[in-house]
Amino acid sequence: MSMSGSAVELPITTDATPEERLTSRQLKKQLRLQDAKTKLSSPWASGIAIILAILWTIPTFGLFVTSFRPPADIQTSGWWTFFANPGITFENYTNAWSNSAGGLGNFFINSFVIVFPAVIIPISLALLAAYCFAWVDFPGRNVLFVAVFALQIVPIQVTLIPLQTIFVNFGLQNSFWPVWISHTIFGLPLAIFLLHNFMKEVPASIVEAARVDGAGHVKIFFVVLMPLLVPAIAAFGIFQFLWVWNDLLVATVFAPSPNLRPITAAVAELSGTKGSQWELLSAGAFISIVVPLAVFIGLQRYFVRGLLAGGVKG
C-alpha cells in the first residue's frame, strides 16, 4: 500500500505483508500452516459458529422487527409471530420522531451539534501535541509524555463534580460548551497516545529531508505528516465519534435540559418513563443507533485498525 502525499511518497507498513511476492508453493505451505493453528474439526466448528452468530443477532433483530409492527400487535403477541401474521407500519418511527410523547427529532439534532466540535477539537489539539512529542526536542519531553499517557487512567467520574463547579463559575452551565469542553478533555490522553504512535512510524529521514529543504514546523506538520496520518486520524475520529454519540454519563451530567440533551440520553430517559411502550422505545432505539451504525459500517476498516493499535477508551 503506498500513500501518495503531495510532497513525499513512502510505503506505510501497518498491515501490509509481502505476501503478493510469494510463489504458489510457498503460499500453499503457508495456508496449510495457518490451518494447523486453528483447525479443530470443521463441520462441527462451522455449525457451532453459525448457531453462535444467530444467537448474537437475535436480540437486535427482534427489536428491529418490533419497531415496524403496529402497537396493538406488539402488546399482544411476540415478534416471532410476525412472520406468520405480518403487519407493517412506519408510524412508530414517525411518532417517535415528532410525537409529543417521543419527539426524538430535536434530540437527534442536539446529538449532531454536540458531536462535531467534540470530535474535531480533540483531534486537532492531539495532532499538535503528538507532533511536538514526536518531532520537537525539548527538555522534559519524556516526563511530560508519560504524564499525559498516565492521565488515561483517571476515570471521568473522578472529574465530574469539580468540572461542574468550574463551568458554573464561568457561567457556562446549561449550554453546549461544558459538553464540548469535557468531551475534548476526556478524549485527549488517548488521542495523543494513539496519534503519537502513528507519527513515530513515519521515517525520521523524511522529516529530516524536509527540514534540510528549509521547511519549518508548521510546513512539516501540514505538508509532510498530515497526508500520511489520514488513516490514523480516521481511526481515532471514528472512535471519538462513536464514543460521543453513544455517551450517556457526560450528557446526563452536563446537558440535563431537554434543549441540550442528545439522542442517546433521550432514549435512556424514554426507557425510564415509558418503559412499556415498546412501539416508541423500539423505534427510538433504532433512531439513536442508525447514525453510529452507518459510520461504523462505512468506515469499519479504519475502526478495526485503530482497535488493533490499542485504542480503547473505557
Interface of this chain with another protein, residues 162 to 201, rule: CB under 8 A: 162-163, 166, 171-172, 174-177, 180-182, 184-186, 188-189, 192
52: contact with another protein by CB under 8 A: yes
235: contact with another protein by CB under 8 A: no
Give the number of residues in contact with another protein, rule: CB under 8 A: 122
Compare residues 90 and 170 and give the one whose CB is closer to another protein. 170
110: contact with another protein by CB under 8 A: yes
226: contact with another protein by CB under 8 A: no
59: contact with another protein by CB under 8 A: yes
Judged by CB under 8 A, which stretch of 62-70, 90-98, 200-208, 228-236 contacts another protein? Answer: 62-70
Compare residues 4 and 76 and give the one whose CB is closer to another protein. 76
Judged by CB under 8 A, which stretch of 3-11, 83-91, 204-212, 284-292 contacts another protein? Answer: 284-292
Concatenating the DSSP letter of every residue in the chain gives: -EEE-SS-EEE--SS--GGGGS-HHHHHHHHHHHHHHH-S-HHHHHHHHHHHHHHHHHHHHHHHHHTTS-HHHHHHS-GGGGGTS----SHHHHHHHHSSS--HHHHHHHHHHHHHHHHHHHHHHHHHHHHHHHH---TTHHHHHHHHHHGGGS-HHHHHHHHHHHHHHTT-TTSHHHHHHHHHHHHHHHHHHHHHHHHHHS-HHHHHHHHHTT--HHHIIIIIIHHHTHHHHHHHHHHHHHHHHH--HHHHHH--STTT--HHHHHHHHHHHSTT-HHHHHHHHHHHHHHHHHHHHHTHHHHHHHHHTT----
Write down the least CB distance from residue 153 to another protein, Å.
5
Write down the least CB distance from residue 228 to another protein, Å.
18
- Residue partners of 202: CB distance under 8 A and separation at least 6: 10, 224, 225, 228
> Which of 117, 211, 227, 274 forms a contact with another protein (CB under 8 A)?
117
> Which of 88, 101, 204, 308 forms a contact with another protein (CB under 8 A)?
308
Closest CA to 91 of 99, 79, 83, 81: 99
13: contact with another protein by CB under 8 A: no
**Quick check: 192 and 148 in contact, CB under 8 A?**
yes
Q: Which of residues 126-165 bind another protein (CB under 8 A)?
A: 126, 128-129, 131-133, 136-138, 144, 148, 151-163
Write down the least CB distance from residue 167 to another protein, Å.
11
- CA distance linking residue 259 with residue 250, whole number of Å: 15
211: contact with another protein by CB under 8 A: no
304: contact with another protein by CB under 8 A: yes
Compare residues 228 and 254 and give the one whose CB is closer to another protein. 254
288: contact with another protein by CB under 8 A: yes
Compare residues 206 and 243 and give the one whose CB is closer to another protein. 243
- CA distance linking residue 119 with residue 213, whole number of Å: 34
Write down the least CB distance from residue 152 to another protein, Å.
7
Write down the least CB distance from residue 92 to another protein, Å.
13
Judged by CB under 8 A, which stretch of 94-102, 202-210, 227-235, 247-255 contacts another protein? Answer: 247-255
**Quick check: 11 and 2 in contact, CB under 8 A?**
yes
